[in-house]
Amino acid sequence: MAKPHTRYVCQSCGASSPKWAGRCESCGAWNSIVEEAAEALAPKGQSAKGGRKIDFVELSGPSDELPRAVTGIAEFDRVCGGGLIPGSAILIGGDPGIGKSTLLLQVAARLAAKGSTIYISGEESIDQVRLRAKRLKVDQAKVALAAATSVRDVLASLDSTDRPDVVVIDSIQTMYVDTLDSAPGTVAQVRASAQELIRLAKRRGFVVFLVGHVTKEGVIAGPRVLEHMVDTVLYFEGERGHHFRILRAVKNRFGPTDEIGVFEMTDRGLAEVSNPSALFLAERRGDVSGAAVFAGMEGTRPVLVEVQALIAPSPFSTPRRAVVGWDTGRLAMITAVLDARCGVSLAGADVFLNVAGGLKVIEPAADLACAAALISSLTQTPVPADTVVFGEIGLAGEVRQVGQSDARLKEAAKLGFSKAFLPRRRRKQASGDAPLELIEIDRLAELVTRLGGDSTPHRKRA
């Protein structure tokens, strides 16, 4: 009997069967069975039966310093950990239309000046890509372009030519392996296609970029399967209607994570933004209540953003809590701490919180700035315009230390701020040369008093 090309594997328990079923017979999970290729398209070396003996070596020993290819786009290179490592696989995820193809075409054009670069488009025709290249003014770059979706064709072409240095696959959801029956874009196809492409990239030592669209649930298609297979995962994010785009490293085997690169989408493609703080604060009005400037850190870089809050009497029995760019759970926590520890009740009020500019803030250090914006909106007292705020809030109403305060303060000083609300510092010596007036806030109630609120335990009406 001929060996079947595919098998069906339960993603929860790993049981495999020759046919698909809605429910796994072993573990009883529903909808967990996914088609998988039983054997690789381009197997390398020998099968397990005639397996070759592996040489083991000592942990210490000579290792080559990995040469990195730099694009010259500083915001991009930094997010990649200082450049691209040959043989690495990089996944770029993001919502459709956010600018992934634009970014990669610009990157490919830069890399083409240094080595052979291939751009394979599965989504757009040659003409469309050429038009974009013209618009981006990179049409003279020596990028080899093809429109293809069959992984078998792509592998055959990449294996037969001279070794390319960089290959862009746009997007992995359009690629298909012909040994699987599933449609392109399904978990099985995405995983099998990525596996084949990554294997070839490792073997031949080229950098492969895989573009992945993020599905509605916010995961790159195939329940994050791709994230484990690649060396680097970058997310390209931004709010629709805003020009800012943020490239964020969430995994990097060859560099730090949590770095961001900030870009602005212009009519001639993505432009680097080397001073994001200035950009995020550009439209700030200093004298309004309900706003506070948060001195945040994104990776190694300080970024100042404005946090805005609006508190309004709610016409509904269940008041609304809407948050853009921050965590709803942390907002709930802060309103609870304000209520329980500072006597500031937001019950019966709608609360809206917005991080201006479209940045998503994930640091707990933003707690104090969000609280300042909330209190300021409630008391109608503006936070002084020359003040930055940072600090984490604990459930007991205490303001906790956060890392890298010196970098935050330095950036604030650079942008012309003269005061900072911050947690009490353990290390006093650095404050001597701090260019700002430091106002240490030990408990959240102190901030309430400073912003014109009444923090005695009797209830304040929202």
Q: Which positions touch Mg ion (CB under 5 A)?
A: 101
In angstroms, the CA 414 to CA 369 distance is 19
Contact 249, 259 (CB under 8 A): yes
212 in contact with ligand TYD (CB under 6 A) = no
Q: Binding ligand TYD by CB under 6 A: which of 100, 199, 330, 450? A: 100
In the list Mg ion, ligand TYD, none, the entry touching 228 (Cβ below 5 to 8 angstroms by class) is: none
**Cβ proximity to ligand TYD, 124 vs 446, nearer residue:** 124
Binding string, 430-459, against ligand TYD, x = CB under 6 A?
Answer: ------------------------------
**Cβ proximity to Mg ion, 6 vs 101, nearer residue:** 101
Q: Binding ligand TYD by CB under 6 A: which of 4, 14, 28, 96? A: 96
Q: Binding ligand TYD by CB under 6 A: which of 88, 102, 182, 335? A: 102
**Cβ proximity to ligand TYD, 194 vs 375, nearer residue:** 194
Minimal distance, residue 263 CB to ligand TYD, in Å: 11
Of 49-57, 96-104, 158-166, 317-325, the window that binds ligand TYD (rule: CB under 6 A) is 96-104
**Cβ proximity to Mg ion, 122 vs 164, nearer residue:** 122
Contact 259, 301 (CB under 8 A): yes
Minimal distance, residue 235 CB to ligand TYD, in Å: 11
Residue type, 389: V
132 in contact with ligand TYD (CB under 6 A) = yes
Rounded to 10 deg, the angle between the 187-204 and 151-160 helix axes is 0
In the list ligand TYD, Mg ion, none, the entry touching 296 (Cβ below 5 to 8 angstroms by class) is: none
Minimal distance, residue 188 CB to Mg ion, in Å: 22
**Cβ proximity to Mg ion, 92 vs 389, nearer residue:** 92
Minimal distance, residue 213 CB to Mg ion, in Å: 8
**Cβ proximity to Mg ion, 101 vs 387, nearer residue:** 101
Q: Which two tokens stand for residue 224?
A: 């994050």
In angstroms, the CA 190 to CA 184 distance is 7
Of 41-49, 79-87, 91-99, 423-431, the window that binds ligand TYD (rule: CB under 6 A) is 91-99
331 in contact with ligand TYD (CB under 6 A) = no
Q: Is the CA virtual torsion 308, 310, 311, 316 positive or negative?
A: negative
Minimal distance, residue 100 CB to Mg ion, in Å: 5
101 in contact with ligand TYD (CB under 6 A) = yes
**Cβ proximity to ligand TYD, 65 vs 267, nearer residue:** 267
In the list Mg ion, ligand TYD, none, the entry touching 217 (Cβ below 5 to 8 angstroms by class) is: none
**249-268 residues near ligand TYD, rule: CB under 6 A:** 265, 267-268
Minimal distance, residue 360 CB to ligand TYD, in Å: 17
**Cβ proximity to Mg ion, 78 vs 132, nearer residue:** 132
In angstroms, the CA 179 to CA 39 distance is 9
Of 56-64, 92-100, 350-358, 374-382, the window that binds ligand TYD (rule: CB under 6 A) is 92-100
269 in contact with ligand TYD (CB under 6 A) = yes
Which parts of this chain interact with ligand TYD (CB under 6 A)? Answer: 94, 96-102, 132, 135-136, 265, 267-269
